[in-house]
Structure 1
């Protein structure tokens, strides 16, 4: 996930002898955010719906399980960051956009457009997954919806039966950790070419921790995308996964500069 290009004003002077590179247009950046979020949902939610249990939950001889789903989300962020990060900064997550803005690394004025693009991209991604599921054998689509369509949840809708308090704490803490990794690996003093790898692996780790607790959100766009196909229960609990990842992102963003100093935030 590259440093956001939105933080570099168009026409700003460059250092050294390298030629000036025009900044991407706002339309291009929004398209990149939509495509990156589409890829994240298609890869992550698609793996959860089609491959977590295969051929079925009772005889799961070929399914990838929690580990495979965690890797799928991490890999989609890694690939998306390399592909679209140079254009938009590779946020693909409203909590990331708002956290970067809180840290002074992204313009607040550009945040609404990014959020809309991410939400739209995510919904298109889950809709493609749903369209593919509708072509499955027998009642595959119905079963996927009844199983929550990889939605996030707590209580009886948590994979491990964890309650609301555990879900809130998990989403706030792990989203904050995710933001701290992003901010650290995309700081000017960091090695930018390795940032997507570190960020993708950190998201994999986050999923390994929290899939049993909430089915892992840390991303409101991902949560909305799956909930619209997960049905009433998923939509009823969606507020937790819209609000608390954002809280975690904002906490990390506002704390980053006081904790690590201005040089790390530039």
Structure 2
């Protein structure tokens, strides 16, 4: 709610103070601004994978770095774009009815650009190191994979199942945490912790993808087998995201239908109660108080009041959905249905 000045008499001013803006307008950003926010957030999320290279020297683990970066990006840019920074989350949000499908390609392109830019900067940094002769070997470590020659040698079926389930859980946490019922910082913390847990589990199986944009950027700079196996790290996360999004949408629609039925029942009860009150409370014609006008008495209309009803001034309403939600127009916090 926007602040309103309190006059000396103690009465609240009818109109908001000059220079204050409607909170809803503060949360309206164009598609370009939202795309830039998605690109920057994706850049931050993918750039955090550099921690995996230095983890042996006492740095934080790759999973923890990604989780912290995800939480920071959601707090910093989530109110602009919805805080996806991951094509899988964007697809899950669209399937759940949170994000318009027409916005989805723009978000995915922005996320890919941010991820590629992050790995490009890493490549430039490593090229300048005198002891690093083959940069592709470093990016091969960061790339995702499966099979006998990767990590613990999990087969294709195991890698596919692990990525589908893990991404489905990640999208479920995102959709549940970003409904606006809990503070934005708590939602970002929940998503960040989920990243840490899931990436820790996936690390020995596939290297931990959950994010097709990150997998694509790593494969582009690693080349070889990483490019050949890249299809899995698009198919599995998107499949898991679609499953969760459709389940969430079906549950959400079911709840909406139940609430609508309850509202109709309540409206019928209210109409019946109003009819009963109308029959009981209408005074007889003889009991209507008379008003004296020009020396003659005239009957006042039933229900008339000497004082005109006070007009209620419009007030600025807080957005009940929270700034992580994308509305029908693709803007966070706008009305959904």
* TM-score after normalising by structure 1: 0.83
Partner of 1:148: 140
Shift of residue 243 of structure 1? 1.2
Partner of 1:217: 209
Mapping 1:72-91, distance limit 5 Å: 72-91=65-84
Query: Partners of 2:225 and 2:129 in 1: how far apart?
Result: 23
Mapped contact 2:90–2:104 kept (Cα < 8 A): yes
Mapping 1:181-260, distance limit 5 Å: 181-259=173-251
1:105 aligns with 2:110: no
1:93 aligns with 2:104: no
SS at 2:103's partner residue? Answer: helix
Shift of residue 149 of structure 1? 4.1
Mapping 1:5-84, distance limit 5 Å: 19-22=23-26, 23-44=28-49, 46-48=50-52, 50-53=53-56, 62-64=57-59, 68-84=61-77
Mapped contact 1:74–1:203 kept (Cα < 8 A): yes
SS at 1:108's partner residue? Answer: coil
Q: Are the structure 2 counterparts of residues 81 and 157 from structure 1 closer, same or farther at C-alpha, using a change threshold of 3 Å?
A: farther
Q: Deviations over 1:208-265 (max 9, x none)?
A: 1110100000110010011111111110110100111011001000011334654699
Mapped contact 2:75–2:184 kept (Cα < 8 A): no
SS at 1:43's partner residue? Answer: helix
Query: Partners of 2:177 and 2:152 in 1: how far apart?
Result: 32
More helix by share: 1
Q: Deviations over 1:21-45 (max 9, x none)?
A: 240111110001111111111112x
Structure 2 spans left out of the alignment, 5+ residues:
1-20, 257-320, 326-335
Query: Partners of 2:157 and 2:128 in 1: how far apart?
Result: 38
Computed over aligned residues only, the root mean square deviation of the Cα atoms, in angstroms, reads 2.1
Query: Partners of 2:234 and 2:133 in 1: how far apart?
Result: 25
Query: Partners of 1:81 and 1:178 in 2: how far apart?
Result: 14
1:165 aligns with 2:157: yes
Q: Are the structure 2 counterparts of residues 26 and 233 from structure 1 closer, same or farther at C-alpha, using a change threshold of 3 Å?
A: same
Query: Partners of 2:170 and 2:76 in 1: how far apart?
Result: 20
Structure showing greater Rg: 2
Mapped contact 1:28–1:87 kept (Cα < 8 A): yes
Between Structure 1 and Structure 2, how many residues are aligned? Answer: 237
Query: Partners of 1:254 and 1:206 in 2: how far apart?
Result: 21
1:120 aligns with 2:113: yes
Q: Deviations over 1:80-136 (max 9, x none)?
A: 111111111111111100100000111111001001000111001111111111122
